[in-house]
Homo-oligomer: A and B are copies of this chain.
Amino acid sequence: MVARFMSLKEAVASCVKDGDTISMEGFTHLIPHAAGHEIIRQGIKDLTLIRMTPDMIYDQLIGAGCAKKLVFSWGGNPGVGSLHRLRDAYEKGWPTKLEIEEHSHAAMANAYDAGAAGLPCAVFKGYRGAELPRVNPNIKFIECPFTGESLAAVPAIRPDVTVVHAQKANKKGDVLFEGIVGVQKEAVLAAKKSIITVEEIVDDFGDISPNAVMLPNWAVTAIVEVPGGAHPSYAQGYYKRDNAFYKAWDPIARDREAFQAWLEEHVINGGPEDFAAKRDANKA
Contact = CB atoms under 8 A, between A and B. Distances in A.
B123 A123 contact: yes
B118 A146 contact: no
Interface stretch (A3-11, A40-48, A203-211, A217-225): A203-211
A107 to B, nearest CB: 13
Residue among A118, A125, A209, A213 with max Cβ neighbours from chain B (10 Å):
A209
B142 A142 contact: yes
Contact of A120 (B117, B149, B212, B236): B149
Contacts of A178: 209-211
A211 B213 contact: yes
Contacts of A213: 211
A181 B119 CA distance: 24
A145 interface: yes
Contacts of A210: 178-179, 236
A262 interface: no
Measured as residues with beta carbon below 8 angstroms from the partner, the interface class of chain A is 20 to 34
Given A178-B211, A181-B211, A211-B181, A146 B125 contact: no
A153 interface: yes
Interface string A146-164: 1101010101000000000
A125 B121 CA distance: 11
Contacts of A140: 145-146
Contacts of A1: none
A130 interface: no
Given A123-B123, A125-B119, A213-B211, A155 B146 contact: yes
Contacts of A145: 121, 140-142, 153
A124 interface: yes
A144 interface: yes
Contacts of A143: 142
A118 B149 CA distance: 12
A208 B209 contact: yes
Given A179-B211, A208-B209, A211-B179, A120 B147 contact: yes
15 contacts: A117-B124, A118-B125, A119-B124, A119-B144, A120-B147, A120-B151, A121-B146, A121-B147, A140-B145, A140-B146, A142-B142, A146-B155, A178-B211, A210-B236, A211-B211
Which 3 A-B residue pairings sit nearest by Cβ, starting from the closest?
A140-B145, A120-B147, A120-B144
Interface of A: 117-121, 123-125, 138, 140-147, 149, 151, 153, 155, 177-179, 181, 208-213, 236
